[in-house]
A = this chain, B = another copy of it.
Amino acid sequence: MPDSSFKEIRDLTLFSQMADENFSALMRGAYVQNFPAQIELITEGDPSDFLHVVLSGSVDLVSAWNGRETSLATVRPISTFILAATIKDAPYLMSARTLEKSRIALIPSQDVRAVFDIDGNFARAVVTELAQCYRSVIKAQKDLKLRTSLERLANYLLRQQRRTGGAASFVLDYEKRRLASVLGMTAENLSRAFKGLQPYGLEVDGTRITITNQAEFERFARPNPLIDDGST
């Protein structure tokens, strides 16, 4: 594995506190690979052989049932995915698919579990990461169960606005079709939802979004830190 990737991974909070020798042990069996867009990296139901780290590009986590498919999360650099499956040595619950050309590090799951058993710092870092993931999914669950699709879209836009710096005008980082899937609605419905938000101070031009009336828009969306704050 090239040194640069090594360092990027080492700097992740998940790996930054562990002993040097244990990190080396992890990296010994790991390798980095470049994947083109639209490649299925893992398939739900398969045994979890590797912990994945997205170094560049982006990866969509999706699940399918009975002919339907939904997008559950998008992983962007630099972060890991399917940590829980790796730790539990259980099958993947989601499939992972590159959205664009991506550089991915693969760390053998059995090495992760072995180091996890002997390195307390690593174990604690894993806990922090998992607790974070758990709380994120709980928030997503609340978003889905407590809000209509219009409200979900409005709050998503406010979150995206904050992520991109807070300006009134910003750009979506999703293809609309995938955004619809993330928000739990159809593409057609998303298109109508964008229109439905215009009376509350929203302008849409392709992927460029402008909130023309922030106060009015927030009055409709009613963002809530216990659902919409990414950090806690």
Contacts and interface: CB of A to CB of B under 8 A. Distances in A.
Contacts of A144: 141, 144-145, 184
A67 to B, nearest CB: 10
A174 interface: no
- Name the residue in A70, A145, A227 with the highest tally of chain B Cβ atoms < 10 Å from its Cβ: A145
A160 interface: no
Interface string A99-141: 0000000000000000011001001101110111111011111
Task: Identify whether the interface residues of A are mostly helix, strand, loop, or mixed.
Answer: helix
A226 B65 CA distance: 10
Nearest to A69: B146
Contact of A123 (B91, B123, B138, B141): B123
B93 A139 contact: yes
25 contacts: A44-B226, A45-B225, A63-B146, A65-B142, A66-B222, A72-B138, A72-B142, A84-B131, A84-B135, A88-B131, A88-B132, A88-B135, A90-B232, A91-B226, A94-B138, A116-B127, A117-B124, A120-B120, A123-B127, A130-B134, A133-B134, A134-B134, A137-B137, A141-B141, A145-B184
